[in-house]
Amino acid sequence: MINNKMGAVAACAVLASVLAACGSSSPSTSASGSADTLVGAGSTLVAPLVSQWQPEYDKKAKVAVTYGAIGSGGGIEQITARTVDFGASDAPLSESQFKEAKEVVQIPWALAATVIAYHLEGAPNQLKLTGPLLAEIWEGKVTSWNAPAIAALNPGVTLPATKITPIHRSDGSGDTFALTNYLSQISPEWKAKIGKGTEVPFPVGVGAKGNSGVGGAISSTNGSIGYIAIAYVLANKFDYALIKNAAGNYPVPGIPSISAAAKALTTVPPDNELSIVNPPVSAPAAYPISTFTYAIVPLKSPKASTLKPFLKWAITEGQQYGPKLDFAPLPQLVVAADDATIEKIGS
């Protein structure tokens, strides 16, 4: 009896000490010794760039930035609820969202693109597609890869008869916004039936969470086609489609074609909302589904003194980490507008 009791007590003590050891160490400093922290959440499109920023900014300014890649919709929701210090979204805030979020500003802090990636065994990379065709694919009207519409655009390519599985984002996504914004502009039927937004009622297809999730779905489904941020296409070496732009060209998505799309901008509106999908004919080399991505920040923030330097760094020095992930540098007039907006942030 004594032995069992001792045994029980000993086991208890061991368990308690293990748990205590795990839980000890002072709560005030994290392992990097950083004094300040910033917590942000949102866009998975900008997440690769933020993950480069985190260690670099920590080294430079001793500020630990925590970022949760939960999707642009999540970024808007979290900053509206002020559960984070900054939100990140590829979709600009709508008027009602601005009202809900109460006194926030959006700051375009990176420039990238949403790429149409696909997984089709037996077909080459860089198949040519058009905007209206994309609309029909995601509407469920074109269901097979060897459909005449696709074959016509890709002469000389033998397309297998595989069924098309369109993948969409199941969470609130800035990439969804970029694509549906584009599709609403070039297809009146899409605009009427489905519309644009970070979440829309896709009639067919499989849903996946986050850009990673779309990537995962694409790589595991033969015949799948999805829209995914450019950094993920690069990292996973997916096949991607060339989309016909207004000038009739098929630019390869990358820094030159993204910058060309942004060059069409002449002014920045006061709310900083920039839409560069479906660039005009005057931009012959522009990739049609390019998109800015925004940091969404409260005008009055208790973390203003940490937040402002971080934002300023992000739009200047931070941009140097972009090109290897296919983020194009911000155009100068955007940087100037951002600077003015950042100044308005106070505590």
Beta strands in the chain (DSSP E): 36-42, 63-68, 86-89, 104-119, 128-129, 165-169, 206-208, 224-229, 239-240, 242-243, 290-298
326 touches other proteins by CB under 8 A = no
Stretch that binds other proteins, among 108-116, 190-198, 280-288, 332-340 (CB under 8 A): 190-198
Q: Which residues, at least 6 apart from 255, have a Cβ–Cβ distance to it below 8 Å? A: 323, 326, 327, 328
* Contact residue for other proteins among 130, 181, 187, 198 (CB under 8 A): 198
* Contact residue for other proteins among 178, 186, 208, 277 (CB under 8 A): 208
Q: Are 110 and 293 in contact, with CB atoms under 8 Å apart? A: yes
Site size for other proteins (CB under 8 A): 86
Q: Least distance to other proteins from the beta carbon of 62, Å?
A: 12
Stretch that binds other proteins, among 108-116, 199-207, 242-250, 326-334 (CB under 8 A): 199-207
Site for other proteins in 91-150 (CB under 8 A): 96-97, 100
Angle of helix 174-186 versus helix 72-80 axis, rounded to 10: 120
Q: Which is nearer to other proteins, 202 or 250 (CB)?
A: 202
Q: Which is nearer to other proteins, 84 or 286 (CB)?
A: 84
3 touches other proteins by CB under 8 A = no
* Contact residue for other proteins among 192, 220, 266, 267 (CB under 8 A): 220
Helices of type H across 81-220: 95-101, 131-139, 148-153, 174-186, 188-193, 210-220
The dihedrals phi and psi of 147, each to the nearest 5 degrees, come to -60, 150
* Contact residue for other proteins among 315, 325, 328, 334 (CB under 8 A): 325
**Nearest to 167, CA basis, from 125, 211, 133:** 211
Q: Are 294 and 92 in contact, with CB atoms under 8 Å apart? A: yes
12 touches other proteins by CB under 8 A = yes
Q: Which is nearer to other proteins, 79 or 276 (CB)?
A: 79
Give the integer Cα–Cα distance in Å for 129 and 186: 13
Q: Which is nearer to other proteins, 84 or 120 (CB)?
A: 84
Stretch that binds other proteins, among 124-132, 208-216, 258-266, 301-309 (CB under 8 A): 208-216
Residue 166 carries which DSSP code? E
* Contact residue for other proteins among 61, 151, 154, 197 (CB under 8 A): 197
Tokens of 129: 């597609």
152 touches other proteins by CB under 8 A = no
Tokens of 109: 């802090």
Q: Which is nearer to other proteins, 73 or 251 (CB)?
A: 73
Give the integer Cα–Cα distance in Å for 74 and 81: 10
217 touches other proteins by CB under 8 A = yes
**Nearest to 266, CA basis, from 280, 251, 253:** 280
* Contact residue for other proteins among 45, 79, 84, 150 (CB under 8 A): 84
**Nearest to 69, CA basis, from 215, 200, 181, 195:** 215
Site for other proteins in 21-80 (CB under 8 A): 22-28, 30-32, 34, 37, 39, 41, 47-48, 51-52, 54-55, 64, 66-68, 70-74, 76-78
Q: Least distance to other proteins from the beta carbon of 182, Å?
A: 15
Complete DSSP assignment for 254-310? SHHHHHHHHHT-----TT-----SS--TT-TT--TTEEEEEEEEESB-TTHHHHHHH
5 touches other proteins by CB under 8 A = yes
Q: Least distance to other proteins from the beta carbon of 280, Å?
A: 26
